[in-house]
Chains A and B, each alone.
Chain A
Amino acid sequence: MKSPSLGTLELAALLAVARLGDDAYGLAVREDLAQRTGRAHSVGAIYTTLQRLEDKGLLASRASAPLPVRGGRSRRHFSLTGSGARAIQDASKAATSVWTGFGNPVRPEPA
């Protein structure tokens, strides 16, 4: 079965969840992406992306016990589903395929 198509942020978030394992919740995913891409996505953007990935069946989520540091709210921990793992593999293959034959980045000739 073909994996659903993924946007850049969706793929990055999916990979972050895979990397973070049990620690994958919004704030951790946001920090991971900020460190790797240098771009600070808003909390809302991260969660709507994670929710979209859950709606596509690529992620599953569970709520932790309420935490005082979160004003009595739970953390929503995300984990990769089988489809999510397949989607990562497919994305990796697709990326490898499109980059095949392309060596070092083209550098402009000095003026």
Chain B
Amino acid sequence: MAVRSPRSAQRDSAMRGEPRARLLRVSDRLLESLGADPALVESVLGDLAEEHVARSARDGARAARVWYLLEALRSAPHLAVSGVRRSSIRTRALAVAATSAATVAAIALFALDMRVPPPARLVVDIGTAGGVVVNNTRPVKLPLRVVDAAGRELAGDSVRYRFASAAPLVLSRRGVITCTHRKDATVVASLGVLTTRFLVHCRPVRAIRATIWNDFIVGTPPRELPVDFIGLDGRSERLLSARVAVDDSSVAVMDGLRIRPLAAGRAHVNVRVGNQSTSAAIRVFAEVPSFEGVHAGRRLVAVPLRLIPGGVKRFALPTGSLSLVFLGQAEVGQSDTPLAPSMSVDGPIMCLPALAPRVYRSSCLARAPGATLTIAHPGASVRTVVGHVALELEGR
């Protein structure tokens, strides 16, 4: 009495290429055989497949498969009742028999899947560092997984760990390591006849120092986030297993440890290494030809600037609370340090700190129209000033 949808054959060929377990396909057939409206069964199987994909990514393939089988089992009585309601008495009797058989088969399949297969491999996820990097200052479990022949993850409680040779570090038999100082050591993990050796780089980080304000211009190349990771010995640490993320991906995204600005706005970059974490604010400015027309809907703007010796530029400023900053850019063929201009303001405006030589960032209040910003070449150099004058309109 199997009811097959017209799209079944097409779907089956589409599914063949996916690594879905045979058990799931069998459970699909069982649900299809319960006599419910094919459209209803299609919807149920579609939802199961969609959530299975999400759970596989989130919880792992095995957990997702267990969820799928349980959910198919829970759905079977509902589909069976729906099928019985739609059918004749004879068909109803057949449906009841089919439901009973399907339920028994599903339970058997589930029990089959629940059997614990023997471990086949010990897997350590080694990154580009050629070993496991531990930045934690507290005890941490080494990231080793036990998998069976089919690649399914098994419980790893019985794995035993030791150092290959004496090492001045603390490692428990269950794989909890305490990195008290910077050191490399080889660890041997074993489970029955399975053994693996891997390198552990102990690089404990006790602090993360990040620049509070980081300003970018839309469309400029990605720039490294100025973050310093301080080891227990006070030295800067470069070997890291870090997680870095921007909290608003419409403003900027991470490209490794570099930030790629995408659109004007503010965001935070959250950095986590070992048991340390920090957050740095970033501002992304949109390039505009002048500050005229800056309004509450477009608060973060930057005007490109290029000044040869003796050059001066004036910009009319909008009224309100402003943040002004010069973002220098090294000119091609010149030294890496950009040449900074001399900045000053005139009119009904007050800035703190007051703009003066070597002050390139200030918060200002323009009380009325008529305030201007003057930017001049510093004069002491023949180099060209290249960069942007950025303005953030605050409040309002």
Contacts and interface: CB of A to CB of B under 8 A. Distances in A.
Are A and B co-members of a single complex? yes
B44 A26 contact: yes
Contacts of A51: 37, 40, 82
Interface residues of A, number: 24
Contacts of A71: 11, 14-15, 18, 45-46, 49
Interface of A is mostly: helix
Contacts of B82: 48, 51
Nearest to A50: B43
Interface string A13-38: 00000000000011100100000000
B79 interface: yes
A42 B74 contact: yes
Interface stretch (A72-80, A81-89, A90-98, A103-111): A72-80
Contact of A48 (B7, B39, B40): B40
A43 B47 contact: yes
A47 B14 contact: no
Contact of B10 (A68, A72, A75): A72
Interface in A51-68: 51, 63, 66-68
B14 A72 contact: yes
B100 to A, nearest CB: 17
A45 B11 contact: no
A2 interface: no
Contacts of A27: 47, 50-51
B264 interface: no
Interface in B22-50: 31, 36-37, 39-40, 42-50
Interface in B1-23: 7, 10-11, 14-15, 18
Nearest to A66: B7
Contact of B45 (A48, A66, A67, A73): A73
A69 interface: yes
Contacts of B44: 26, 43-44, 47
A75 B46 contact: yes
Interface of B: 7, 10-11, 14-15, 18, 31, 36-37, 39-40, 42-51, 53, 71, 74-79, 81-82
23 contacts: A26-B44, A42-B75, A43-B47, A43-B51, A43-B71, A43-B75, A44-B76, A44-B79, A45-B75, A47-B43, A47-B78, A48-B36, A48-B78, A67-B46, A69-B49, A70-B47, A71-B45, A71-B46, A72-B10, A72-B14, A73-B45, A74-B46, A76-B46
